[in-house]
Amino acid sequence: MRGPNLGMLPRQVRRPPQGAVRTTTRQCAVRYAAYGWPVTTGTTTPTCDPERAQALWSMLPNASVYTVCGEAFDLVEADAPAGRAALVRLERLGVQVGPVLWVPSLDRIGFLVHLGTLGPVTSLLEAGYELRVLDSGDLAELPGPPGGRVRWLREPAPIGVPALPPAHIVLGGIAGCRVAPRHG
């Protein structure tokens, strides 16, 4: 019996069929603001108002969409091998992992987690895990139209505010898939 192919990303978001209407960056920004996520171009004041986001990205249609972490959610980012393995493991356990980002150029995977649940991260960072935590005002780029610099591995629900797991669930998935480096 063969194990999972961790080189492949499970259930990747598929490209829209030919002839389908292409999502715009403005539509993405408006959708994220409607979730209550503060969105910004990186140089503008963050907003959770969908109408303000609509106006902003109408004026700056090519601007990337960033969010301010530590306001609606925190972000735990892992190197892709650990992130992929954790994602597979958590889904096999039936855990609702919530939205998950992938940054292909950096080969990093980011898990959006429930705000204020990052307590256990420090011990994993000290144990040598290659994690990055974004919270308290850190900017993170969110996916725009398909094929951009940042993509969804698990898209947020199209309706309603996405459910986010507590950080310890994601961290347990990451820690359970790797052996921390030994310190001499």
pTM exceeds 0.75: yes
Tokens of 53: 């986001």
pLDDT score at 123: 65
Longest dimension (CA), the chain: 58
Q: Which residue has the tokens 């992938």?
A: 102
pLDDT digits (tens, 9 = 90+) for 81-135: 989 999 999 999 999 999 999 999 999 999 999 998 987 666 666 566 678 888 8
The pLDDT assigned to 131 comes to 84
Tell which residue, 21, 114, 107, 119, has the closest CA to residue 69.
Answer: 114
Question: CB count, 10 Å around CB of 80?
Answer: 17
Are 110 and 165 in contact by the 8 Å Cβ rule? The answer is no
Question: What one-letter code names the amino acid at 97?
Answer: V
CA distances from 124 to 49, 82, 151, 178 (A): 36, 13, 26, 11
Tokens encoding 153: 């591995």
